Copies of this chain bind each other. A is one copy, B any other.
């Protein structure tokens, strides 16, 4: 008789005592899963990730994002379930997550995930994806952010640019850029066009998003191309670039300018402090989780939300050096 736990006033205190004592004696505890089944509620928020858990946890971007999602979970008393691709498929991971709703991250090429989620009638919000009709999403104006940062460099006279980008993944060859990376590339192309340049006029390097990869790529870049400015599409890569330039004894921004993207907390702690594009990562996580909670409660839907990306000029960019 679960009344003892759930409805104390419906039974006499004596009986209640008796039941609880017996439960203690037997070492009884209600089953979490059975209760979820009966209640039709898990009190868990799922985050469907595009990469392995280990890779995600290594990336400070996700720390920020999950902090935002976590704030909402803390507030609402939800638990946070992290769900990584199963055999390289986000779709296959869905049936294994007992959650009341999903925040879906970086769904760059939809292989049925949206249909599966709709079919299951489980609320979800897409984040860092290619927005779709009638599918709730939270996105950032990556295009404008990327455009502004490149314009900034161009205005300072830089023409010999290198773009340090994250690896676009295996789909890239057949499907082109997708999601935020596609938007950032667009922004770069637009900025270049203003001065009559194209992507063919810049050096592009694509690497995994880690500090050491940014470091190594920059070493190579300086040896082989010697740009006057490095446009990193992530702060983590930009910070790795700063490390490399410091080790090479190159002055930033005296000899080389560096820009990032994200405005991680670390960005402002760099020496020199990093010029970057701020996107409110934690806010993005919080917004997505808030939308999800509303949807779970059956409240009004918010189909699309756009957050801005703004250029933050700090100390790592300056005028192009006079030619040597």
Contacts and interface: CB of A to CB of B under 8 A. Distances in A.
Contacts of A97: 32, 79
Given A32-B96, A73-B84, A84-B74, A271 B271 contact: yes
Interface centre among A60, A97, A211 (most CB of B within 10 A): A97
A195 interface: no
Given A79-B96, A96-B43, A73 B86 contact: no
Given A44-B98, A74-B52, A269-B243, A82 B84 contact: no
Contacts of A69: 53
A44 to B, nearest CB: 7
Interface string A1-40: 0000000000000000000000000010111111011000
A54 B27 contact: no
A interface: dominant SS? helix
Nearest to A34: B37
Contacts of A120: 29
A36 B96 CA distance: 9
B74 A66 contact: no
A54 B80 contact: no
A70 B95 contact: no
A265 interface: yes
A237 to B, nearest CB: 14
A53 B29 contact: no
Nearest to A26: B119
A63 interface: yes
A155 interface: no
14 contacts: A32-B97, A34-B37, A37-B37, A42-B98, A43-B96, A53-B80, A54-B70, A54-B71, A54-B74, A57-B67, A57-B70, A58-B67, A79-B81, A243-B269
The list of the 4 closest CB pairs from A to B, nearest first, reads: A53-B70, A57-B67, A80-B82, A54-B71
